[in-house]
Structure 1
Amino acid sequence: MRNDYASNEELFAHLADAQAPKVMWIGCADSRVPPERILGAEPGELFILRNVANIVPPLAADEASVGSALHFAVEQLKVNHLVVCGHSDCGGVKALSQLGKAPMDRMLASWVEYAVSVLEDNEGTTMESLTKANVIAQAERLLEYPCVLAAASSGQLSIHACYYDIRSGKVEQFNPEDGDWSHIA
């Protein structure tokens, strides 16, 4: 285990008192997708929520883990950006594509069912297309949460749908105005 406390003692002393990230990152739990490395962020710059397939459950599902993290980030920390980031070779999206077709752990099946509409709307597409469609759907679903909708409507919060390619290290962002993906990092 690497401990970088000694080389960042002043930073950690500052962070011991409070955090003030401007970005909340909702990403996949995949170990190959470290948000701090992807964005070149220091400790304290990102508020991170990771789960299988970067899913944002519908508000009606009453999933406290995601809902409480969103509320805390938007209401308490006053983040300015919510980033939903999917990635290449996502096991969660692969599981989604196999829902009802192959045996699957019931917990995983229950979780990826929150994205079943993505599968229904994108049947027969490539894994990359399905993954990108999932990212867009999850970013749009954020607006079901009242705190997110209020902050976005007032201009205090921007929502970003991104895709990370593990092999190349490139990050793309979806532009809802033209429906296109563009390279950003």
Structure 2
Amino acid sequence: MIDKFLEGNKRFLEEDFAKAPEHYGPLASSQHPVVLWIGCSDSRVDPERITGSQAGEIFVQRNIGNIVPVHDWNFATVLEYAVNHLKVGDIVVCGHSDCGAIKGLDHESTDAYIPLWLNNAMEAKRRVDGRMPVPQSPEEEKTRRRLIEIENVGLQLEHLRTYPPVKAAEKDGRVRLHGLYFDLATGELKKIF
């Protein structure tokens, strides 16, 4: 597989990089992304690809379940750097259909780390389950999961607003927060918050 990636890089060098020195040249010494994208690690949801963005436009932080953990130093450094140093004007939390993290909220696990991480999304499940009856069919279960995926985006936006750099930047009008949702079956990206 690594050989395939190296061959892909050769095509990138010939077909993209070499043909756009005015774009890639400045990126060698600085970056000026306009968006911080908080998305899922899911291999099917590549932010640059689904948005048609070029290298340098999106500062990306991906993790299982597009989670904004409260009081996480790793996440806080990404956020602080994006807001205070890169001066991004927009922050996106992007959820997606068929999310394994959301499915994982319904299952006990013997994993050491995943259940602890998913606790950051558990409130989304509680909110949806509190609003709807127990699903009686596979279609109803699919609808429930989609609602939890969407609710999770809203919950993570709430978590974002607990971080002082975001709170201050949003209050001063320096940053706008957005919740997006990507449907794997249709390829459509929608603004939901």
Find the counterpart in structure 1 of residue 163 from structure 2.
Answer: 145
Provide the secondary structure at the position in 1 that maps to 2:82.
helix
Q: CA deviation at 1:65?
A: 1.5
- With the length of structure 2 as denominator, give the TM-score of the two structures: 0.83
Q: Structure 2 regions of 5+ residues with no counterpart?
A: 135-142
Is 1:121 the counterpart of 2:130? The answer is no
Is 1:71 the counterpart of 2:83? The answer is no
Find the counterpart in structure 2 of residue 132 from structure 1.
Answer: 150
Mapped contact 2:68–2:159 kept (Cα < 8 A): yes
After TM superposition, list the pairs within 5 Å mapping 1:1-185 onto structure 2.
1=5, 2-3=8-9, 4=12, 5-59=17-71, 63-98=72-107, 102-123=108-129, 124=134, 126-175=144-193
| Structure of greater Rg | 2
Count of matched residue positions in the alignment of Structure 1 and Structure 2: 169
Equivalent AA in structure 1 for residue 78 of structure 2: A
Mapped contact 2:109–2:115 kept (Cα < 8 A): no
Q: Structure 1 regions of 5+ residues with no counterpart?
A: 176-185
Moved over 6 A (4+): none
Q: CA deviation at 1:64?
A: 1.5
Provide the secondary structure at the position in 1 that maps to 2:78.
helix
Q: How far, CA to CA, are the matches of 2:148 and 2:110 in structure 1?
A: 19
Provide the secondary structure at the position in 1 that maps to 2:31.
coil
- With the length of structure 1 as denominator, give the TM-score of the two structures: 0.87
Percent of aligned pairs with the same amino acid? 39
What do you get for the CA RMSD once the two structures are aligned?
A: 1.3
